[in-house]
Structure 1
Amino acid sequence: MNAYDSRPWLAHYPGRLSEHLEPEFTSPLTMFAAAVAAGPDEPAIHYFGATLSRADLDAASDALARLLRERGLRPGDRVGIAVQNEPAIVLGMLAAWKAGCIAALISPIYRRTEFRRALDDFTPRALLLLEEVHAEVADEVEATPSVELVVTCSPLDFAGNEDPQRVFGVRRARPAGTVDLLEVIGSGSREVVRHDPAPDDVAVLAPTAGTTGPPKGAMLTHRNLAFNAQGYRDWTGLQPGEPILCMSPVFHVTGLVGSVLLAFSARSPVILTHRFDAGLVLDAVRTWRPAFSVAAITAYIALADHPDATPAALESLRLRYSGGAPVLPDVADRLEAQLGGMIHNVYGQTESSSPTHMVPPGVRAPVDPETGALSVGLPVSDTMAEVVDESGNPVPPRVFGEIVTSGPQIAAGYWGREDDPDSALRDGRMRTGDVGFMDSDGWFYVIDRSNDLINASGYKIWPFEIEQVLHSHPDVVEAAVIGIPDDYRGESTRAYVALRPGAHVTPTALIEYCRERMAAYKYPREIELVNALPRTATGKLLRRKLR
């Protein structure tokens, strides 16, 4: 028996939580149907001053599901969806599931080559695209033999008096040869479309972050999604009807599970704002008084930098979570002081349909005294986590290794790569690629990605160590460190640093700042100042782009 088999983290579970979670539903569809039955006239989505009831959303998704069926789509076919945080992405997924199809999420910020790769991977028979996305990728869509139906929508659809055109400069541009979503919804038919998915049917193809290579489609089942949506609800203690602020993209798993599907499970409205804009988010908080949000730490930093973001303005937001990248303790403390509330870590991957670890609300996560890392949390109910060495053997507490997880939320595999012997998903276990450790009390810590380790003259350097020192400088907003070729040392270190507005510290001064605080082999030999670091839509750092 090893240190993980005894599950020491259970000792820190609040009294309302248990080791096992009894699922109420086996699919997002049954969650949504129960919410509609419980209160059809209650709000489902708040969007730019307008509200869609659950009955509105049910009827709209029925209309699109009817069209999919009429055009010959059958269970297992893929419906590609490239939409931002608008009601259309929610009703598009519901419609796909009602027709028995798989919702293949495609980032609406992809450029042509990236979009083409997604089309080739997922071979969708139908697409739901923003008009602006269609304008960018029309040639790629036309050249894809599998696509038989293209439905287009606009961010202006479903908006109220607070027009998104004012914020984002959106204009309608109905593409020729496509079907307009609003026309589908207004077609007049009221035929109900219902498909009863099996729990292990694939519900969503979710693109991985692509931090180390091209994104892959994680096959998330109905069971995966229903389990983790309920897990968010039970772990946070969110009460029925409490609004949820969606600051993460719904086309990625955090926004999908931690906002939209959580809203189904909790029977709460979700607040959508097309894209993240700090001023717009603050307006939405004042109007709708949300209680919960989960977002990349960069979103909270952007809020903190807005002049209207005060503790009083954000008072309703009692449950604040951050995922996508480890949060540094100094950053967490600063944001707590500026925004008036603790930001709790949540940890997981696309392949785990969001969380495998969470910090219980109201609990201050520990900071490891040796590494200075803030814990990413405790394994959630029914979830096993281990730290293993290169041979896959569990290591003792406080020893670095790769974090491996398993549980009901782990994806079935990667679409089209089910037989890949090097897959991170094997036998129900997820090799995260994250290096970290568990302390003796069962708290987990993430230090870095395994492929980001730098080897300088035989010395191992974790970028996290240097980034932490740089973040402690008062003029630094964010920093990232990579290894670069060095004829003498094999590898050396280069840091990319974004400064606060008005700061004038030089790269030479920052190098000296690090040299005074680190061993000689660690401090960065080069520093380049940048306006911002490259990140995914969910806030994950893209070191490969820096390389």
Structure 2
Amino acid sequence: MTSTYADRPWLGLLSPAQRAPVAPPPTVLHAFRLAAARAPERTALAYFDGRIGYAEADALSDSVAGHLAARGVRRGDRVAVMLQNTPHFVLCVLGAWKAGAVVVPLNPMYKAGEVGHVLHDSGAAALVCDGRAWTEYLREAVRGTAVRSVLTASDRDFQTRDDPRIFGPGPQAPAPVPPSIPHQQAGPADDPAAGPARPADPHTADLATVARRGHRAPDGPDLTAADTALISYTSGTSGTPKGAMNPHGALTYNAVRQVTSHPIPEGAGYFALAPLFHITGMVCELAACFVNAGTLVIAHRFDAGAVLDAFLEHRPAYTVGPATAFMALAAHPTVTPDHFASFQVVSSGGAPLPPALVERLRAAFGFYLRNGYGLTECTAPCATVPAHLEAPVDPASGTLSVGLPGADTVVRILDEHGDELPIGRTGEIAVRGPQVVPGYWGLPAETAEAFPDGELRTGDVGFMDPDGWLYVVDRKKDMINASGFKVWPREVEDVLYTHPAVREAAVVGVPDPYRGESVKAYVSLRPGTSAEPGELSAYCAERLAAYKYPRRVEILPVLPKTTSGKILRRELRDRG
């Protein structure tokens, strides 16, 4: 009898723990408080040489919550957080949830117009941001929005050993926060040094000062699994960014499933390689860490040398990041296998993972990089490679599987009409499960289109093999039409990654008067290697059909990427 998606053929490959029902806590805040109750002195946050224990982080975030409540933030209000991977980010997320608010994570690389769109669209009542960004451009960006309260932060808070690779030259940070913080009621004048405000300015205060004041968190009913935890704005690769409404229960479900799929000891270190404002970092790092009462190791922003140093200092057991981050780590002149010796699980997500990179890393550094697949709209992973297995490579296309769906998830492959295709056929990936969001903030028509009957239509093209392994071919919109033949960029990129000189690769379609579109590749080279464009084109021509290989190859020092590590094909496409 032929298996169907409803039969969930992947269940046979999951371990008993991965198949077993789970009972996640209602919210990440519940998980954090449970961890604080059973291990109050354990380090919750490690930031360079700074350490904040669970009890201390609980008190600091209580004070942030009390301040937000005193500034009028109520249950259901939105609090925008625009910070790098720093303790401030975690304390503000916890504090906003304690105040009953919804967190709106913002990319710190956003410009004024991008910030303004999200603040207007979400109706955010408060903003947490870097102090320099506030004075340089965000102060103007909030004008005309609903923002009435601003907390500013210094990246140098909560640690004393400045790293010039991260912070540049500057004064040493203040001493770490003392562990004992008395409680007091919040008042309006939290930051006497904030200076006089212009008439239209919202109230501003320094975040570290507020956190140390010892305000009590507001009383009130706990948030539930059904309440919205995040409004996560998509990257906007096709049109204006939309806010996916991630429920608290979706975060904790996926966090618990991460722990069962990748079991590591309670209290272990989770290194935040992915940005915490990205859904991968929020769920697979922050939420999973607190579910496991672990230590979240954060290091501001990605710098390969600083990250490698942090691996040696903190000896984490788990990390997840895009393939491009691991390429950069592998290319660093000081990297050795010892940098990765402490890791029990290393995962990749947020960008395609070439099979050649997996084997290159294993041969050079001794660890296996586990693939995974998810979207903002399904609260990060909907398929992972369990710790007891390795992902297969499809023999026909050379594509590495992104993993197996979870026990409570159903993944289907659909044709252009939305009808189910047989297993093995290629079409659009659709996902149904407890991690799928209910829709987009304030966009009922877009919600109905993307989530018919609650099932997410991902816009990704892929297929599933008879055992339940899922393969992602590419994005629907990135397909190249060369003389009527379909060319999926991923297939060409995977071939390029097998060339010993290629570090990064991206393939796009460019206008061609004869073919309509032709294939063009952009590559960056590994340090100490060389290759000519014609050589790389010929290399692909030997391994691909004539209509697939890139007629044009352009070599760049680095390829443009998002802060989450995805190579920006659209920018390369615009180059022509």
> Which TM-score applies when normalising by structure 2?
0.91
Which runs of 5 or more structure 2 residues have no equivalent in the other structure? 174-192, 198-203
Alpha-carbon distance in 1 for matches of 2:324, 2:558: 11
Select 2:300's aligned residue among 274, 296, 305.
274
Residue matched to 2:443: 417
1:215-239 Cα distance to aligned partner (Å, 9 max, x none): 2211001111111111111110122
d(CA) in 2 for partners of 1:350, 1:133: 26
Q: Determine the structure 2 residue equivalent to 1:318.
A: 344
User: In the alignment, what sits opposite 1:382?
Assistant: 408
Letter in 1 for 2:22: E
Specify the alignment match of 1:434 in structure 2. Answer: 460
Q: Kindly report which structure 2 residues correspond to 1:454-469, keeping only aligned pairs within 5 A, or say none.
A: 454-469=480-495
CA spacing shift, 1:361–1:150, aligned 2, 3 Å: same
Compared CA separation, residues 141 and 195, structure 1 to 2 (3 A): farther
- 2:99 aligned with 1:99, yes or no? yes
**Superposition deviation, residue 167 in structure 1:** 3.5
TM-aligned CA deviation for residue 24 of structure 1: 3.2
- Going from structure 1 to structure 2, the CA distance change for 1:139 and 1:152 (only over 3 Å counts) comes to closer
Identical-pair percentage: 43
What does residue 33 of structure 1 align with? 33
The superposition leaves residues 191-234 of structure 1 with CA deviations (integer Å, 9 ceiling, x where unpaired) of: 66565012111111112133333322110011111111111111
Shift of 1:504: 3.3
One of 323, 332, 348 as aligned partner of 1:306: 332
Distance change >3 Å, CA 55–CA 544, structure 1 → 2: same
Once the two structures are TM-superposed, the CA of residue 142 in structure 1 deviates from its matched residue by 4.1
Return closer, same or farther for 1:70/1:175 CA change in 2, 3 Å cut-off: closer
- Correspondence list, 1:86-235, <5 A: 86-159=86-159, 161-164=160-163, 167-169=166-168, 171=170, 177=197, 178-190=204-216, 193=219, 195-235=221-261
Distance 1:194 1:338, change over 3 A: farther
SS in 2 for 1:451: helix
1:430-509 equivalence runs, <5 A: 430-509=456-535
Q: 1:512 to 1:165 in 2, by over 3 A?
A: closer
State the match for 2:16 in structure 1. 15
TM superposition shift of 1:536: 1.6
Partner SS, residue 427 of structure 1:
helix
Bigger drift between 276-285 and 356-365 goes to 276-285
Offset, 1:137: 2.6
**The residue matched to 1:419 in structure 2 has which SS?**
helix
C-alpha distance in 2, partners of 1:171/1:383? 49
CA shift at 1:52, angstroms? 0.3
Select between 533-542 and 39-48 the one with higher mean Cα deviation. 533-542
Gaps of 5+ in 1: none
Could you tell me which amino acid in structure 1 is paired with residue 287 of structure 2?
A: L
Distance 2:308 2:10 in 1: 36
In 2, the alpha carbon distance for the partners of 1:108 and 1:495 equals 29
Aligned to 2:6: 5
Match of 1:255 in 2: 281
Question: Please, which of 347, 354, 372 is the counterpart of residue 346 of structure 1?
Answer: 372
In structure 2, give the amino acid aligned to 1:17.
Q
Give the TM-score taking structure 1 as reference length: 0.96
Q: Hey, what does 1:512 align to over in structure 2?
A: 538
Classify the secondary structure of the residue corresponding to 1:16: helix
Q: CA deviation at 1:513?
A: 2.1
- For residues 30 and 191 of structure 1, do their structure 2 counterparts lie closer, same or farther at Cα, with a shift above 3 Å needed? closer
- Whether the aligned pair in 1 keeps the contact of 2:66 and 2:216 (CA below 8 Å) is no
Question: Per-residue CA shift, 1:40-92, capped at 9, x if unaligned?
Answer: 11110011111101111111111111111111111111101001000111111
CA distance in 1, matches of 2:390, 2:410: 22
Q: 1:404 corresponds to which residue?
A: 430
What is the DSSP-based 3-state SS (H/G/I as helix, E as strand, rest coil) of the residue aligned with 2:68?
helix
Q: How far did 1:380 drift?
A: 1.3
Give the letter aligned to residue 446 of structure 2: D
Answer yes or no: is the 8 Å Cα contact 2:423–2:465 preserved in 1: yes
CA displacement 1:410-430 (0-9 Å, x = unmatched): 112111213326642333211
- Check 1:175–1:546 CA distance in 2 against 1; reply closer, same or farther (3 A cut): farther
Residues 86, 194 of structure 1: alpha-carbon distance in 2 compared, 3 angstrom cutoff: farther
Query: Which letter maps to 1:458?
Result: G
Which residue is equivalent to 1:368?
Answer: 394
CA distance in 2, matches of 1:323, 1:142: 33
Counterpart in 2 of 1:48?
A: 48
C-alpha distance in 2 between matches for 1:40 and 1:62 = 15
1:106-157 per-position Cα deviation (integer Å, ceiling 9, x unaligned): 1111112211211121121111111132134334334133111111001111
Aligned to 1:538: 564
Quote the offset at 1:243 in angstroms. Answer: 0.8
Alignment counterpart, residue 554 of structure 2, candidates 528, 533, 540: 528
Number of residue equivalences? 545
The alpha-carbon deviation at position 170 of structure 1 amounts to 6.4
C-alpha separation between the residues in 1 aligned to 2:400 and 2:419?
25
How far 1:189 sits from its partner (Å)? 3.8
1:544 deviation in Å?
A: 1.4
- Equivalent residues of 2:78, 2:122 under 8 A apart: yes
- SS, match of residue 199 in structure 1: coil
